[in-house]
Each structure stands twice: as C-alpha cells, then as structure tokens.
Amino acid sequence: MKEKLEALAAEIADYREGDIPRPDADHVGRWLAQFDADEREPLLDELIHVWSKTYFSKASARDFIGHVISADKLAGADPKAFWAATNVLDTQKNGHSQRDLRSLFAEELLKATGLSLSCCGGSNRFVYLDDVLFTGNRIQHDLKRWLVNAPQVAEVHVILLAYYRYGEWTTDTELKAEASRLGKTINFTFWRALEWENRKYYRFNSDVLWPTRLPPEATGYDQGRFPLVPRAPGGLGSLFSSDARRDVIEQALLNAGLRIRSFSANPKQILRPLGFGEFGVGFGSLFLSYRNCPNNSPLALWWGGRTNPPSHPFNKWYPLVPRRTYGGDDDF
C-alpha cells in the first residue's frame, strides 16, 4: 500500500510546484483515509492508472507546445515565417491558464524560431491558447467578445492540451454562428494533444465519471437541463482499467461529493458532487495538470482547505489536489 501511495504522489509530483508542499505518501494517505476501507485500494489503483493518461506535467505541456510550433500541419515548411505573421491572443478575463500557457509558448517559440511574441502578428491569422476545453463556456465567452472587433475575414487556431468532444462541438458551433451573425467569415480550427468522449450518445464508453446508478440521497440529479441518464455497466472508454474499478471510483467519488455538499447549509446547485456544471451529478472530469485542478473535477479531489478555523466547513474535508481559485485562494 505504501508503494501505491508513493506511486500516486510521484504521478502528480509537480502539481502546483512552488505554491503548495510537494505531494508525498503521507499526504495521499491522509486524503484516502476519508473513504470507506473497501474503497481505498481500488480507488488508489484507478487514480494511478487514469492519471498516468490524463495528468499533464509541465514537461509534457512544454513538449506538446514545442511540437505544435514546428508541426507541418499547422506551421507548414517554414515555422518561423508562419509564427512571425501570427497573432497570439491574450483575451482571457478570468483565471490564469491562458497567461501561463502563453508564457510557456513564448519560451518554446524563442527556442525554436528565435522570435518573441512581441514580434509576431500583422496577418489575419490568430491563435487562442488554453489548457483544456470542458463545456467550452469560457472560450466561447472570450472569443465572442473578441469577434466584435475581429477582422471581417480571419482564421483562428484554438490550441489546447485537451478537449472533451461535446464541448468542442458546441464551441465550434456557437462561434461559427456568432461570426455569421456579425457578418464575418471566420474559420475556427481546434488542435489538441488529447481528446475525450463525453457525449450522451456515447455515455457507455465515455471518458468521464458517468455513474450506472444513484444512491438514494442523490435526489434531483436525474432532472434539470442535463439530467443524469445512467450509463449501462460494461463500458470502459479509453481511460479506465476495468468496469469494476470504474464503478468503484465513480461511486466512491460521488458519495464523497454528496457528503461534502452536506457540509454547507445552502450549497450552490452548479457545484455538483462530480464537479462544476449542469450535467447530472457533475461534469466528472479526471483531467489534471501541473497548473491546477479544474472545478469540473469531483469535489472530493480538490474541495477543502487548510487556512480556515477548525469549525469551518472547508476543514471537514482534506483535499488531494487543493485548487487555486480565480481569486488565488487555496480554500474553495
């Protein structure tokens, strides 16, 4: 067990490096102890398995960006000329993901081409950088605002570490419709290192936590705009090691999320047991990067804090990957 605790800590070793203490076996063990005894080892095994596929270290993010800069499909035979004429957007109002990715991009661009971002631009070609697309709401908001003053004809390349297919489809559809409404001809192309399935039609083999059943206390999540339609047992998707382990991790994190919500007298409806969003019991993402844990992930992974008084609800749960909020706080 100790080796497995160390293995998970090693998998996320550079998570928020420099902001919070480096994860170790004791930290993982303290988090894991909050679950029922029969859930702990399979939950630990499955997180090791899944995060080996979905965790983006800073090194892996840097490698992807370096690949994008020199990719023939994007930059052609002369990457320096391509990027010298390309505008790299800085449009994000909330959060730090675009700023951080632009910084990493600038470092790799300088190494690969000798160009600085300040020297790039001048054409009707634009790049929007971000780490991951979940529902696409933030990217839609940023680019719809940008479209108002955008050129009449332009191409926009949205470059991401990862995206979820439903969010990519709705974002592409929404942005094209908005450009058309404004009377502009804008071509949007999405680039990613990884993509995952989360469309309802493919829920049996989805790449998000999508429970086969709800516990009695999970009332109301089968209603609303996007009610939970349980998946049938047996589907793995591309992430999970087995259906049995998938079921354990889904139920364990769902029940822990319900428990966490019970700590607050009036929890926000949008903050659901398996993550932020209107999808049934929550978005259910297991994406994690060195930068931060998204709120679209299960509450049991990131909710809680260490700086509030002992009586505060945040201190009733110890987070595995404490989340930095838009305001910069560690306590959610």
Q: Could you give the 3-state DSSP secondary structure of residue 132? A: strand
Cα 80 to the center of its chain, rounded Å: 30
Q: Do 190 and 160 form a contact (C-beta atoms < 8 A)?
A: yes
Helix axes 165-181, 137-147, angle to 10 degrees: 20
Q: How many Å apart are CA 230 and CA 332, to the nearest integer?
A: 29
What is the pLDDT confidence band of residue 331, given thresholds at 50, 70 and 90? Answer: very low
DSSP one-letter string for 182-247: TT-EEEEEEEEEEEE---GGGGGG-SS---S---TT-TTTTSSSB---PPPTT--TTT-S-HHHHH
What is the pLDDT confidence band of residue 326, given thresholds at 50, 70 and 90? Answer: low
Residues in the chain: 332
Compute the average pLDDT of residues 236-256. Answer: 95
Segment (H or E) for 31: helix 25-32
Neighbour-count burial for 119-141, b at 16+ CB within 10 Å, e otherwise:
ebeeeebbbbbbbbbbbbebbbe
Please name which of 41, 35, 57 lies closest in space to residue 5, comparing C-alpha atoms: 41
Question: What local confidence, expressed as pLDDT, does residue 218 receive?
Answer: 85
Q: How many Å apart are CA 288 and CA 286, to the nearest integer?
A: 6
Question: What local confidence, expressed as pLDDT, does residue 109 receive?
Answer: 97
pLDDT tens per residue across span 119-158: 999 999 999 999 999 999 999 999 999 999 999 999 999 9
Read off the pTM.
0.92
Among 25-29, 30-34, 288-292, 301-305, the range scoring the smallest mean pLDDT is 301-305
pLDDT tens per residue across span 267-276: 888 899 999 9
Sign of the dihedral defined by the CA atoms of residues 113, 116, 117, 119, in that order: negative
Compute the average pLDDT of residues 109-124. Answer: 95
Higher pLDDT, 135 or 236: 135
Q: What are phi and psi of 116, to 5 degrees?
A: -100, 155
